[in-house]
Structures are given as C-alpha cells and as structure tokens.
C-alpha cells in the first residue's frame, strides 16, 4: 500500500483511480490513512459483503478469528470490465505498482502520460 501511494501521481497521470477495500470500519481506515499518509480511496466492507461477492472471503483469518479478505488486485477499464487481476499466492506477495502501471500501459487503457 505504501509503494502504491508513492506512485500515486503515475496513476493520476493515467486517469486511473485507486480504491482499497477491507473489513476495517471507516474510522479505522481514516486513522490508517492519517498515519501512513495514504491519499487514495479507502472503502469499508465491515460485513464482507463485497468481499464475498468477489469470492475473496477468508474466514477466521484475521486477529482473534475475525473474517477478512484475502489480498487481491483488480484492474478495471472505464467500462468496469476486469482487464488484469492478481490473486496473490502468499499474503506478503502483493502486486507492485510498477506491475499494475505496466498492465495499464500494455493494455492501452490510458493515453501515455509522456
């Protein structure tokens, strides 16, 4: 998430929005954003309804056996169609912003910022 924030301007330049989703309540995410300086959109799915709809539900995997989302990234085009996705094999292995930016450029989703 930190590495994504560092490349925020590259996503902005391509007109691509960043949206993070977890079970954390808005208050919790606000604190997270304040603490780490995240400036993109953080959405709260406390009952994991959307997380379930995306089949990313990871029951009892959070602290004290809480239900959470498994990590995943989806790149949507302007019609809302998924053009690229990453279902990580391990929690620590997340998609790098460079990988997502490359996907945006390779798929020609946005006019090249240069």
Partner 1 sequence: MERQRKNLNLILWVGFLVVLIGALSYKPFFSQFPSTRDVPWVNMLMFVVGIGLMGVGLKRAFQKPDVYRGKVVGTVVAIAGVAVIGYFFLRAYYLERQLPISINAPRVGQKAPDFTLLDTDGNSITLSKLLASPTGAPASSKTNGVVLIFYRGHW
Give the position of tokens 């304040």: 34
Helix (H, G, I), strand (E, B) or coil at 108: coil
Q: Contacts with partner 1 in 45-74 (CB under 8 A)? A: 45, 49-51, 53-58, 61-63, 66, 68-74
Closest CA relative to residue 25, chosen from 9, 7, 47: 47
Answer for which of 18, 37, 65, 106 binds partner 1 (CB under 8 A) is 18
Tell me if 13 contacts partner 1 by CB under 8 A: yes
Tell me if 105 contacts partner 1 by CB under 8 A: no
Cα torsion 17, 80, 90, 27: sign: positive
Answer for which of 60, 81, 105, 106 binds partner 1 (CB under 8 A) is 81
How far is it, in rounded angstroms, from Cα 93 to Cα 86? 10
For residue 6, the minimal CB distance to partner 1 (Å) is 11
For residue 42, the minimal CB distance to partner 1 (Å) is 5
How far is it, in rounded angstroms, from Cα 63 to Cα 87? 22
For residue 59, the minimal CB distance to partner 1 (Å) is 8
């Amino acid at each position: 998430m930190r590495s994504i924030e560092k490349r925020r301007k590259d996503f902005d330049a391509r007109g691509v929005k960043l949206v993070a989703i977890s079970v954390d309540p808005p208050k919790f995410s606000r604190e997270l954003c304040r603490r780490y300086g995240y400036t993109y959109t953080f959405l709260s799915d406390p009952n994991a309804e959307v997380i379930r709809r995306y089949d990313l539900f990871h029951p009892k995997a959070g602290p004290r056996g809480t239900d959470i989302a498994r990590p995943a990234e989806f790149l949507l085009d302007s019609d809302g169609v998924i053009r690229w996705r990453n279902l990580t094999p391990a929690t620590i292995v997340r998609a790098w912003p460079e990988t997502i930016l490359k996907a945006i450029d390779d798929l020609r989703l946005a006019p090249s910022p240069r």
